[in-house]
């Protein structure tokens, strides 16, 4: 892999998966400071002659543009398409999705619940409906290209890759064999014929059959025999393999698997309508046996709670009000020398990235050492909590408030357990969590938390400690942002007097508070009669 950033901005960080058409890497976009996924198409796909390579380059960019037109959250966004000057390396830069391939949850001895399988198929059908409208045909739909995110939403990967590598125009593959994965190839693909939306429907039938039975549609000693079966052999009805599959669902799968494309369902919208009876209704709770594999996301959730808002991060957490008894600190653990070196290197690397304002990558560097440190030293050891605090602070600094918020909440609780609710670290983390809430629009909760922390600080350090001054300023600014000018003035006016007395009117914070008070006074005075 190249040591230099791709196109001057994309860095390859860690290989995530390897497949027939290419490898997927976790990458980093240095320009926009965000993690990305980078699909590296295999070199064998690129023909040797300059003419064919030039044609490949055109096709690659064209298909990437077409894929980018599929406007649906079930299709990871395509950010960029880069073909290097040698025509040997091909990079598709995409949204990085946190989840696992559907193939992870398929097991021959543990068939998936009907509603779970139907929910996945329905979400895939929805994505295909948007793609076919562009029109884009996937051509390589399979469990490995279907990802189930942590929230249960389904993402369909690799749109356009099979089209980029198709053989019907430039014969770019060395063998001339059809593009696709043989366990999911429609008969017309095996024959090298014209593909259509019905080609994707056949593959969806193969996937749904596998979800419900735990087994491939056809198996044989060689891929050529499997492809022969796709063309000539009748599929085994699902109810012979699993009697509890509803008859109507078995009928739908058999309809999807018909050999002639025109004999299959008319379109993917029809498939979705026929899946609807097997989907949960809005508000319906899961019944026994519907949970799916242990630890797996729940793809039925989008149907049970359609358009539900995000869950409230840290909801119900107590606000610090007063210092309580200090619990006993855990016994210190000696830090192994190698781990000590790795932690020091992580801090140094993260600091260097921060100097370049590469916030996402700086936080990720610290994250890589937190796991090993927690295993060696304990999850709530001082070193580990310091690493987590620094990572959360970087996330806040980089504007990733939604990620930083639950971590600051968790850190505040951990510091309260190890050092007491009134400890400086616990107070600081509660204040940082409150600032995240303010940035996320949760102003009422943010104000309550900041006032709670300020009450503790006043009892310990008084009203003019650095911590108290920052809290007073933040409370006043939040009140002002919420339009409560009078209340903001009651907080900021005495703060300004204190700042001028201690630090002078030329101090940066004195000036900041003075500007806010000027705005308040203009608003309070109102129009002149």
Task: Give the DSSP H or E segment for 38.
Answer: strand 34-41
CB 472 within 8 A of CB 437: no
Backbone φ and ψ for 296, nearest 5 degrees, come out as -80, 150
Distance between CA atoms of residues 19 and 282, nearest Å: 38
DSSP helix/strand/coil, 41? strand
CB 159 within 8 A of CB 127: no
List 140, 158, 409, 413, catalytic entry: 140
Q: Mind spelling out the 3-state secondary structure of 59-104?
A: HHHHHHHHHHCCCCCCCCCEEEEEECCCCCCEEEEECCCCEEEHHH
Alpha helices in 285-423 (DSSP H): 301-304, 337-355, 359-377, 382-397, 401-419
DSSP state of 214: S
DSSP state of 36: E
Q: Which of 304, 128, 286 is nearest to 205 (CA)?
A: 128
Q: Which of 217, 92, 67 is nearest to 156 (CA)?
A: 67
Distance between CA atoms of residues 409 and 426, nearest Å: 9
CB 76 within 8 A of CB 155: yes
Assess whether 200 carries a catalytic annotation: no
Q: Mind spelling out the 3-state secondary structure of 239-301?
A: HHHCCCCCHHHHHHHHHHCCCCHHHCCCCHHHHHHHHHHHCCCCCCCCCCCCCCCCCCCCCCH
In what side-by-side order are the strands of the sheet with 10-18?
Answer: 10-18, 22-29, 34-41, 90-94, 78-83
DSSP string, 483-495: T-HHHHHHHHHHH
Evaluated on CA atoms 350, 352, 353, 357, the torsion sign reads positive
- Looking only at Cα atoms, what is the longest distance across the chain? 92
* Beta bridge mates, 34: 29
Distance between CA atoms of residues 279 and 261, nearest Å: 26
Q: Which of 99, 130, 419 is nearest to 267 (CA)?
A: 130
Quick one: tokens of 254? Answer: 């058999």
Residues annotated as catalytic are: 140
């Amino acid at each position: 892999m190249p040591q230099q950033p791709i196109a001057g901005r994309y860095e390859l960080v860690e290989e995530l998966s390897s497949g027939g058409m290419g490898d997927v890497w976790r990458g980093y976009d240095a320009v926009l400071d965000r993690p990305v996924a980078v699909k590296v198409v295999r070199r064998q796909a690129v023909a040797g002659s300059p003419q064919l390579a030039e044609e490949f380059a055109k096709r690659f960019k064209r298909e990437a543009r077409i894929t980018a037109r599929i406007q649906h959250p079930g299709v990871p966004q395509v950010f960029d398409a880069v073909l290097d000057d040698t025509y040997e390396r091909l990079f598709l830069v995409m949204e990085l999705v946190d989840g696992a391939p559907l193939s992870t949850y398929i097991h021959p001895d543990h068939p998936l619940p009907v509603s779970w399988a139907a929910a996945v198929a329905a979400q895939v059908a929805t994505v295909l409906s948007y793609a076919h409208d562009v029109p884009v045909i996937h051509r390589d739909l399979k469990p490995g290209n279907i990802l189930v995110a942590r929230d249960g939403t389904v993402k369909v990967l690799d749109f356009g890759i099979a089209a980029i590598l198709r053989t019907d125009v430039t014969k770019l593959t060395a063998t001339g064999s059809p593009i696709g994965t043989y366990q999911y190839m429609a008969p017309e693909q095996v024959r090298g014929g014209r593909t259509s939306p019905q080609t994707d429907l056949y593959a969806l039938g193969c996937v749904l059959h596998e979800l419900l039975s735990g087994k491939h549609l056809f198996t044989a000693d060689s891929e050529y025999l499997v492809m022969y079966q796709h063309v000539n052999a009748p599929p085994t009805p699902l109810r012979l393999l699993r009697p509890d599959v509803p008859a109507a669902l078995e009928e739908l799968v058999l309809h999807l698997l018909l050999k002639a494309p025109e004999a299959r369902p008319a379109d993917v919208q029809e498939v979705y309508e026929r899946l609807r009876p097997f989907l949960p209704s809005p508000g319906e709770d899961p019944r026994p046996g519907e949970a799916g594999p242990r630890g797996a996301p729940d793809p039925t959730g989008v149907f049970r709670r359609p358009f539900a808002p995000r869950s409230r991060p840290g909801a119900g957490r107590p606000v610090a009000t007063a210092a309580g008894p200090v619990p006993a600190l855990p016994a210190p653990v000696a830090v192994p020398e190698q781990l000590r070196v790795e932690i020091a290197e992580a801090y140094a690397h993260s600091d260097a990235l921060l100097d370049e304002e590469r916030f996402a990558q700086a936080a990720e560097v610290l994250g890589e050492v937190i796991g090993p440190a927690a295993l060696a030293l304990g999850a709530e050891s001082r070193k580990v909590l310091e690493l987590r605090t620094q990572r959360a602070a970087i996330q806040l600094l980089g504007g990733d408030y939604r990620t930083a918020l639950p971590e600051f909440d968790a850190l505040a609780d951990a510091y309260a357990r190890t050092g007491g609710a009134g400890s400086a670290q616990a107070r600081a983390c509660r204040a940082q969590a409150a600032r995240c809430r303010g940035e996320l629009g949760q102003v009422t909760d943010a104000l309550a938390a900041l006032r709670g922390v300020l009450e503790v600080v006043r009892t310990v350090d008084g009203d003019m400690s650095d911590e108290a001054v920052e809290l007073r300023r933040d409370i006043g600014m939040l009140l002002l942002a919420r339009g409560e000018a009078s209340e903001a003035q009651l907080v900021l006016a005495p703060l300004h007097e204190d700042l001028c007395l201690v630090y002078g009117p030329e101090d940066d914070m004195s000036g900041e508070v003075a500007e806010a008070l000027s705005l308040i006074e203009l608003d309070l005075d109102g129009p002149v009669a």
